[in-house]
Structure 1
């Protein structure tokens, strides 16, 4: 019997029992849809966290004051006042394979322009910070070395700050008040939008670090040092050299614990990627259980179909249908359920993923791999769970089948 004829008979049989066929497909539809939707959520989490770390800069090391928590009671990273501006200068001058070094300090202030005011984060940085964080100025200029040396009261603002203080007015050249002190706006940054963690990257004001230290905060230390390494292959080497240099500068000898903490964002990103990959696989595996349940549903309904069509099978075998003819017919029926259910499941899964992204304001990532794998698994499930009922039908004795009522 031709394959096309078997396929046509399978469709006819499924169409004759539309509701039963649909309910049988439901397990496959839910399984495939769940795999695609949950994997897209897992991939979205991975993409969000990765982009959040990447937004801090590529090949980044961040030095924070305070020891890392290695057991026992320790000072939280950033809680101590052990890093100085000179430490950043020493790192820049004495360690190779580094592109940029930028120490920074920050605090929140109420900023006023005319009758408008806005509370935002004011960060004191050096000119290198612009390259480290891939910032770009849409109007005006960024902080210069001259601004730092003169402790100038100048500011570069983000688009969120500009829209709340100036509306549609050009802010460059205007004076704003930060902590009741006048600052001249010299630049407006291009928008970077929200980070993956929901933080508005445009709600920020940058001033020279010397101005922030002496005229705003009245401090002599820095809160962090951002280091951009020239190549990823030098990350571990530069990290070790930074730790050695700072231990020497801070007179830490022997087993004395570091009073600083160096974070390697490349290693952090690798760890995060491994964790989110495991999360994605776990979500996919949980959803895959639905496919297994759907396969059992296919076996169940095909067993019922064999029982209902016992006389038909007996007649066909009496007329010359072979073992393979009967096997092929029932296998095609079970595979058609898997194929149609898989296609509908793909559509449902992609739709659910988009709904999650829209309603939850959450980024989801739909890739080809889970779609292909879940579809192949759906078809394979239909084939695997259809084998037993098909063999049972093909092995029926035609005389006993014809006697069946």
Structure 2
């Protein structure tokens, strides 16, 4: 017969079950609670207090949303400004008569301060200026345009056919200037998009006549809209042959047998050769105008587009960084809110912590649970903030007032920072909970 204990069960079976239970307890004491169980406890705790969880995560949510929206607006503005500058042509150097003002003192303007067609031809010589690709001499003024009962005041630019390539100008209707029209100083005009709409609201401008400063001009083209009026946009201007502007409209001076120009725009062969092209420009003009080689007597000023672009880019990047830093402050405030709530939670759950320790939970288990809770709060707030911030940025973009640029790197940075804030501000409450004495905790009222 098989030996039975007082309860009637086989003693061998009870011995086996006891050994298995002892082994499980030993494993628990040796390894503690698993990460999965710890995470489960943390999320269950947060789920039982949904209102508190929502209010605590709100600070992080607002912080992440602010970072996403402000950085998107900042980046979008930077790209928009850069696009506006480069839309008028790339790798450009703009030359104008007159030396740059220095120390508040500038010499008088005389004939030596003028740029001429001879200067433009010298700059276009590939032997003297190998880093210059294109040269566009221009003469600018303003005039009143009239057709029928419609009229508009516009900026008039006298240009040569190369103007279109230098300034990335696209004709939407008709055509651009020809070399023959420029040589014969014909009375033809190309209208900017806005001017064309003002003078011919029903369209069909090409082939029509307009009066420009009392003279009849034939419209041969309408430019495609550049989308703005800044950085030299011709939407609000018109283009005529350079010789027509010099001789018929604005009475340019003939200096040394060459007609004067108001501006010479030089395009370098590439972005890398802009500085070299600028040096060639300065050398040629100083030699041809018999000016000091050190630049002390320059009677012209040069505006380097690349320098402007770099300055604007640095400025907008700095402003975007400041916007992000200001928004990140709200994330820190949200982190402080998480720490306060977690400290309150530790106090409320002191007896629970003592009971768990009495049942074998280690300090590491308690520490991990509270850290998981803190990370969960910041993670939930961060994800909601990503959605809200993206929605705000897209809504701003839809208004058309500001361009935004959403990117994954900003989103990941904001979310990662939110998790880091949650981790940092969760350490103190987690350590406080982990170090509680189980006997004192069980007696806590």
Query: Which bracket does the TM-score occupy, shorter chain normalised?
Result: over 0.9
Q: Which residue of 1 aligns with 2:8?
A: none
User: How far does residue 164 in structure 1 lie from its aligned partner after superposition?
Assistant: 1.8
User: How far does residue 31 in structure 1 lie from its aligned partner after superposition?
Assistant: 1.5
Q: Tell me whether 391-400 or 356-365 shows the greater mean CA deviation.
A: 356-365
User: How far does residue 367 in structure 1 lie from its aligned partner after superposition?
Assistant: 1.7
1:251 lines up with 2:283 in the alignment: no
Alignment match of 1:274 (pick from 292, 300, 314): 314
Alignment partners' CA distance in 2, 1:263 and 1:116: 37
Alignment match of 1:233 (pick from 272, 281, 296): 272
User: How far does residue 198 in structure 1 lie from its aligned partner after superposition?
Assistant: 8.7
Which runs of structure 2 are paired with 1:249-328 in the superposition (5 Å)? Answer: 249-253=288-292, 256-328=296-368
Alignment partners' CA distance in 1, 2:108 and 2:362: 77
Once the two structures are superposed, residues 242-291 of structure 1 have per-residue CA deviations (whole angstroms, 9 ceiling, x without a partner) of 11111122221366421111111112212222222222222212221221
Name the CA shift for 1:163/1:6 in 2 (closer, same or farther; >3 Å). Answer: same
Q: Which residue of 2 aligns with 1:210?
A: 243
Q: Which residue of 1 aligns with 2:26?
A: none
**Given that residues 175 and 185 in structure 1 are in contact (C-alpha distance below 8 angstroms), is that contact kept between their aligned partners in structure 2?**
yes
Once the two structures are superposed, residues 20-72 of structure 1 have per-residue CA deviations (whole angstroms, 9 ceiling, x without a partner) of 22222122112211211221222123212211210121111111111123323
What SS is found at the alignment partner of 1:354? helix
What SS is found at the alignment partner of 1:215? helix
Name the CA shift for 1:355/1:199 in 2 (closer, same or farther; >3 Å). Answer: farther
Q: Tell me whether 334-343 or 379-388 shows the greater mean CA deviation.
A: 379-388
Alignment match of 1:334 (pick from 374, 387, 390): 374
Q: Tell me whether 296-305 or 231-240 shows the greater mean CA deviation.
A: 231-240
What SS is found at the alignment partner of 2:244? helix
Name the CA shift for 1:70/1:358 in 2 (closer, same or farther; >3 Å). Answer: farther
Name the CA shift for 1:290/1:3 in 2 (closer, same or farther; >3 Å). Answer: same
**Given that residues 81 and 223 in structure 1 are in contact (C-alpha distance below 8 angstroms), is that contact kept between their aligned partners in structure 2?**
no
Which runs of structure 2 are paired with 1:4-403 in the superposition (5 Å)? Answer: 4-74=36-106, 82-93=114-125, 94-194=128-228, 197=230, 201-220=234-253, 221-253=260-292, 256-359=296-399, 361-403=401-443
User: How far does residue 359 in structure 1 lie from its aligned partner after superposition?
Assistant: 4.5
**Given that residues 172 and 188 in structure 1 are in contact (C-alpha distance below 8 angstroms), is that contact kept between their aligned partners in structure 2?**
yes
Which 5+ residue runs of structure 2 have no aligned equivalent? 1-32, 254-259
Name the CA shift for 1:112/1:237 in 2 (closer, same or farther; >3 Å). Answer: same
Alignment partners' CA distance in 2, 1:101 and 1:198: 19
Alignment partners' CA distance in 1, 2:398 and 2:179: 45
TM-score by length of 1: 0.93
**Given that residues 68 and 76 in structure 1 are in contact (C-alpha distance below 8 angstroms), is that contact kept between their aligned partners in structure 2?**
no
Aligned length: 403
Name the CA shift for 1:271/1:200 in 2 (closer, same or farther; >3 Å). Answer: closer
Once the two structures are superposed, residues 124-168 of structure 1 have per-residue CA deviations (whole angstroms, 9 ceiling, x without a partner) of 111100001111223322111111111110011122222222223
**Given that residues 208 and 218 in structure 2 are in contact (C-alpha distance below 8 angstroms), is that contact kept between their aligned partners in structure 1?**
yes
**Given that residues 100 and 228 in structure 1 are in contact (C-alpha distance below 8 angstroms), is that contact kept between their aligned partners in structure 2?**
yes
Larger CA Rg, structure 1 vs 2: 2
Alignment partners' CA distance in 2, 1:249 and 1:289: 59
Q: Tell me whether 371-380 or 284-293 shows the greater mean CA deviation.
A: 284-293
Alignment partners' CA distance in 2, 1:117 and 1:151: 24
Which 5+ residue runs of structure 1 have no aligned equivalent? none
